[in-house]
A and B are shown apart, each in its own frame.
Chain A
Amino acid sequence: MKKQLKLTVNGQSYELYVKPKALLVEVLRNELGLTGTKRGCNSGSCGSCTVILNGMAVKSCSILALQANGAEILTVEGLAEGEQLHPLQRAFLDYGAFQCGFCTPGMLMSAKALLDENPSPSEEEIREAIQGNVCRCTGYNSIVRAIMAVAKGQYKEER
């Protein structure tokens, strides 16, 4: 039997009915069409499904959608403002911080959660924050450099 689920995703409120077994990542992708959030390992290991829930980075493949009832969620689609990319997105482009791009939405959300909590992290803190996000193109150094550039204020003037 379907249950009512109320969510705010990227500032927009939704009210929908979902099966209790639906995972948050499934609702985001299949019900709301927000396919930026990737479904990778499906077991909480790879981090490609990372979204920000009530200010915290979480893995949306390991949470039932109903457990997020009433929550405010930010997905990668909510980072840009219109045509204006988020500083982290600009930095990822400038630093070539991806190859295939599958891990990128999760990496961006982990990086965003880190900078919201700690605006000037050390390199070690950046590496710790993306520990739960696997990149199989082995692009970690560029990703760390991109996040570092934003932390150092290189993209400050653009917003």
Chain B
Amino acid sequence: MIRDFEYFAPTTLNEALTLLDKYRDDCKVIAGGQSLLILMRQGLVTPRYLIDIKGIKELNYLQFDAEEGLKIGALTTHRAIERSPLMRDGYRVLAEMERKLASVQTRNWGTIGGNLCHGDPAGDPAPVLIILKGTLKLSSLRGTRTLPVEDFTLDYFETALEPGELLTEIRVPPPTPRTGAAYTKFNIIENDMGMVGVGVSITLSPGDVCQDVRIALGGSAPTPLRAREAEEVLRGKEVTEELLKKAGEAAAEEAEPISDIQASAEYRREVIRVLVPRVGREALRRAQQR
């Protein structure tokens, strides 16, 4: 049973920020709301004021330019991202991730900003945005600040958003040459929530050495996790099967998974150990093609 609340539906960003500033800790922002309403139904979240931002058109856009890269308004739906012609080459992994995020209905209504702000460590967009070096624009009446996606989630369902602050834009830098990125999640039912998600991005030097690498894990820690030790296994080296296997072992080691209804912690570690080389191999193949 959802507790009663007062409802506001601002239509401009400024209106929304004014309401957020006024109600601060007593309010909750709703975008698509498909995750939030579950928590409200369970009585886990009981806001006195609900600020519905879904109708703010100025936060629903997809833009690209060669200098600044991709800009995604926080209220852009998963489906719009997945179907955008901009999601090619280096951004292809974003569309691939969105297409498997959930059912069509959920992707039609859900927004990428809402997904990130929900702070679920099993969410799919965060690991992919981390390997793509994405940043987030957070706005409030006091101004804006920018945060790398990897620093945004602080703990289970907890983000770096301050009272009065709203996630307004997601930025992904322009794709770099000879870079390949891939993402896979492991689940029993296709398009369901993943029990573990793995994203890998590899940049090759002219001599085919791994010049840069990012490995990010979902469902493997209280927050989306950057597997830095696994990255170090590959950085500066020629990526071989052997090294990918070692990176998988390092990632499984540095992950801090929990046991829940989906899988035991032990099982999750095993899945990470298997998936990191598999996704790494695909990222490498893509890097070699570009």
Contacts and interface: CB of A to CB of B under 8 A. Distances in A.
A1 B9 contact: no
B7 A20 contact: yes
B122 to A, nearest CB: 15
Interface in B1-55: 2-7, 9, 30, 32-34, 37-38, 40-41, 50, 52, 54
Interface residues of B, number: 28
A131 B106 contact: no
A21 B52 contact: no
Given A129-B104, A132-B103, A132-B104, A62 B37 contact: yes
A48 to B, nearest CB: 11
Interface in B189-240: 190-191
A56 B103 CA distance: 12
Contact of A63 (B3, B33, B102): B33
B108 A57 contact: yes
B6 A62 contact: no
Interface string A64-94: 1011010000000000000000000000000
A37 B128 CA distance: 36
B52 A132 contact: no
B5 A44 contact: no
A66 B9 contact: yes
Contacts of B191: 131-132
Contact of B38 (A44, A57, A67, A133): A44
Nearest to B50: A20
Contact of A43 (B7, B38, B190): B38
A42 B30 contact: no
A132 B105 contact: yes
Contacts, number: 82
A64 B38 CA distance: 12
B106 A44 contact: yes
- Which has the most chain A C-beta neighbours within 10 Å: B33, B38, B103? B103
A59 interface: yes
A1 B50 CA distance: 13
A67 B34 contact: no
A110 B5 contact: no
B33 A20 contact: no
A47 interface: yes
Interface string A18-30: 0111010000000
A3 interface: yes
B109 interface: yes
Interface of B: 2-7, 9, 30, 32-34, 37-38, 40-41, 50, 52, 54, 79, 102-106, 108-109, 190-191
26 contacts: A20-B50, A21-B3, A21-B5, A23-B37, A42-B41, A47-B103, A56-B79, A56-B105, A58-B109, A62-B32, A62-B34, A62-B109, A63-B32, A63-B37, A66-B7, A66-B52, A67-B30, A67-B33, A67-B52, A69-B9, A114-B104, A131-B103, A132-B102, A132-B104, A132-B105, A132-B191
Interface of A: 1, 3, 19-21, 23, 42-44, 47, 50, 53, 56-59, 62-64, 66-67, 69, 110, 113-114, 128-129, 131-133
Given A62-B32, A64-B7, 7 more contacts: A20-B7, A43-B41, A67-B9, A67-B33, A110-B105, A128-B104, A132-B102
